[in-house]
Amino acid sequence: MTLLDVRNLRIAFRVDRATTAEAVKGVSFSVPRNATVALVGESGSGKSVSSLAVMGLLDPASALIDAASSIRFDGTELLALDGRQRRALCGKDIAMIFQEPMSSLNPVFTVGAQIGEVLRLHMGMGKAAARRRTLELLEEVGIPDPAAKIDAYPSQLSGGQQQRVMIAMAIACEPRLLIADEPTTALDVTIQKQIMELIARLQQRRAMSVLFITHDLGLVAEIADHVIVMRHGEVREAGPAQQVLTQPADAYTRALLHCRPSLEARPWRLPVIADYLDGAAPPPQPERQRGTSPDDQPLLEVRNLSKHFTVRQGWFGKRTFHAVKDVSFTLARGKTLGVVGESGSGKTTVGLTLLRLHQASGGSAVFDGRDLLNMPAREFQAYKRRIQIIFQNPYASLNPRFTVGDILLEPMRIHRIGASDRERMGMAQALLEKVGLPASAVSRYPHEFSDGQRQRIAIARCLSLRPEILVCDESVSALDVSVQAQVLNLLQDLQDELGLSYIFISHDLSVMKYMADQVMVMHQGQVVELADADELYRNPQQPYTRALLAAIPRSS
């Protein structure tokens, strides 16, 4: 039997007084009782907008839902309810887990207070009863030491624990429908697996229906009974999960399945969406060989790198936190060292310390015969342009008030590359074309580009300094799988053409297998395993490495 039935849903957004843009174009789908339905698509496909319409969270001042649209929950037409009726239903019978817990949890209230508020508002519980029930919920979602964590603030919890708190809040009133909007996108592979297993257990234990929204078909096989694939506001394919994943009928679905790097093969180039939309599969690609050899020329030699932070504890106390402990590795010219580990493992701290964005607590990093970590700041200025970083979030790392031309010219001016601004502008336009953007983009601002295009701008900015080493810090983790494939292809093309060396930091082991020649596994600030990529994936030596590999979704 059907619990949620969406029919002919059309949603447009006001652009200005005279113009609207249609985001959802006649979408229809159903969520059966006690079943999990996956709504899959890239950013801009309309999947999250559709779920917000179900929850009644779209701003009526900007979002227009067509009068012929219908959203029925257990026979009740949601679009006919007034605000008070909608809030009562959606707070209790329909609940939602949002993508980014730190944006959804109030930072000035404890997690216990926030869960308790839901129980008091929708279940009529008193303060003591709500606290007892909150402790039970925290235990049910696997929060360690619930009695202590109930009085913790969101910032005192890890990303995985924050997401578990969001799940506890969502299931507090025992909803019949749980909407999970990209609940694992930014999480490590092990935490992702735990959250997926938790949602599956809760769904079975509580006989809930789940609408699971994601852009990653690799996750769908783990949890879904039915799959709905959306693109540009329309449903492209729908059916049982096994059928859609193994025998996709639509070219777009086939493209999504093949864009993600595989553990079984390493094609010379990853396929992208455009390769499949004409209905024909792209020709087979030769395999790209990875690995290191004794003949490789060392470019950067890091020995016993350490970094600790001192944090306040109480009024007068201090505590020393060792983020990186005696890390050693060698990066060869033209090769990629992959650095993998969970959040808090120290992998990003290694990259930031090498660029002296953190001051090292000990160790050395010898580059071209000089120790980057211990030379005077004035001398390091000359080396700064030779080792650059691509950050995870391109929108946060690009100045929104600068045009793309300004963004590219600024580092060239600082490092005196080019004889004049006219020459530098020509170089900037050539760089944009190298990363797959038109030269005319120099006059536009970052907000006018997609996530993938902004990451290309960030890469072009790094290339403007003609670096020899690029630190890629989770530089594709927040991108859709198709955009991710484009950026990975671009990084590989640049390495082939310019001989760049990469320190590629990621928690995505499928991406790591595709990009890395050598993989360094970190845990709690230490290196637990370092080996050539193929050898490590084929024969991991450490239990922690085996646990990471076991957590990769089956279809990756």
pLDDT, tens digit, 9 for 90 and up, residues 171-202: 888 899 999 988 876 667 777 788 888 888 88
Q: Is residue 171 part of a domain?
A: yes
Domain that holds residue 230: 2-241
In contact, 216 and 478? CB cutoff 8 Å = no
Q: How many CA atoms lie within 13 A of 506 on its CB side?
A: 26
Q: Alpha helix (H) ranges present in 374-450?
A: 377-384, 394-397, 404-414, 421-434
Average pLDDT over residues 213-224: 82
Q: Pick 5 or 162 by higher pLDDT.
A: 5
Q: Pick 426 or 552 by higher pLDDT.
A: 426
> Band of the pLDDT at 15, cuts 50, 70, 90?
confident
| Whether the predicted pLDDT of 496 surpasses 70 | yes
Minimal CA–CA distance to 386: which of 460, 331, 463? 463
Burial of 181 (0-12, 13-18, 19+ CB in 10 A): buried
Number of domains in the chain: 1
The residues, ordered by sequence, that sit 6+ positions from 246 with a Cβ below 8 Å of its Cβ are none
| Whether the predicted pLDDT of 134 surpasses 70 | yes
Q: Is residue 300 part of a domain?
A: no
Query: How many of the other CB atoms lie within 10 Å of CB of 151?
Result: 12
Ramachandran category for residue 466: left, alpha or beta (phi over 0 → left; psi -120 to 50 → alpha): left
What CA–CA distance (Å, rounded) separates 38 from 520?
34
Average pLDDT over residues 18-36: 93
Q: Which two three-digit tokens encode residue 202? A: 């809760």
Q: Is residue 556 part of a domain?
A: no
| Whether the predicted pLDDT of 556 surpasses 50 | no
| Whether the predicted pLDDT of 1 surpasses 60 | yes
- Kindly report which listed range (3-12, 275-284, 340-349, 485-494) carries the lowest average pLDDT score: 275-284
What CA–CA distance (Å, rounded) separates 405 from 44?
27
Q: Which phi and psi (to 5°) does residue 344 adopt? A: 90, 0
Angle, alpha carbons 548-551-556 (nearest 5°): 110
| Whether the predicted pLDDT of 356 surpasses 90 | yes
> Band of the pLDDT at 404, cuts 50, 70, 90?
very high
| Whether the predicted pLDDT of 508 surpasses 90 | no
Q: Which phi and psi (to 5°) does residue 25 adopt? A: -120, 80
Give the pLDDT confidence of 74-92 residue by residue, as tens digits: 999 999 999 889 988 887 8
Kindly report the length of the chain. Answer: 556
Cα 381 versus chain centre, distance: 32
What CA–CA distance (Å, rounded) separates 423 from 411?
14
In contact, 386 and 415? CB cutoff 8 Å = no
| Whether the predicted pLDDT of 260 surpasses 90 | no
| Whether the predicted pLDDT of 216 surpasses 80 | no
Average pLDDT over residues 142-149: 87
Q: Which two three-digit tokens encode residue 352? A: 């930031």
Q: Is residue 412 part of a domain?
A: no
In contact, 410 and 458? CB cutoff 8 Å = no
Domain harbouring 150, CATH code: 3.40.50.300
pLDDT at 186: 63
| Whether the predicted pLDDT of 316 surpasses 70 | yes
pTM: 0.83
What CA–CA distance (Å, rounded) separates 424 from 460?
13
What CA–CA distance (Å, rounded) separates 23 from 231?
10
Give the pLDDT confidence of 414-463 residue by residue, as tens digits: 998 998 999 999 999 999 998 888 999 999 999 888 777 888 899 999 98
Q: Is residue 113 part of a domain?
A: yes
* Angstrom distances, CA of residue 281 to CA of 445, 465, 483, 531: 36, 38, 18, 34
| Whether the predicted pLDDT of 554 surpasses 80 | no
The amino acid sitting at 139 is E
> Band of the pLDDT at 381, cuts 50, 70, 90?
confident
What CA–CA distance (Å, rounded) separates 118 from 91?
8
Per cent of the chain over pLDDT 70 is: 98
| Whether the predicted pLDDT of 150 surpasses 70 | yes
* Angstrom distances, CA of residue 134 to CA of 102, 167, 200: 19, 12, 21
Minimal CA–CA distance to 63: which of 104, 17, 5, 23? 23
Mean pLDDT highest for which of 82-91, 99-108, 349-358?
349-358
SS3 284: coil
In contact, 29 and 8? CB cutoff 8 Å = no
- Kindly report which listed range (119-123, 318-322, 360-364) carries the lowest average pLDDT score: 318-322
Q: Is residue 312 part of a domain?
A: no
> Band of the pLDDT at 314, cuts 50, 70, 90?
low
Largest CA distance in the chain: 73
Report, in angstroms and rounded to the nearest whole number, the Rg of the chain calculated over CA atoms.
Answer: 25
> Band of the pLDDT at 37, cuts 50, 70, 90?
very high
Indicate the Cα dihedral angle 279, 285, 290, 293, nearest 10°.
-170
The amino acid sitting at 414 is I
| Whether the predicted pLDDT of 208 surpasses 60 | yes
Q: Is residue 128 part of a domain?
A: yes
What CA–CA distance (Å, rounded) separates 195 from 191?
6
pLDDT at 358: 92
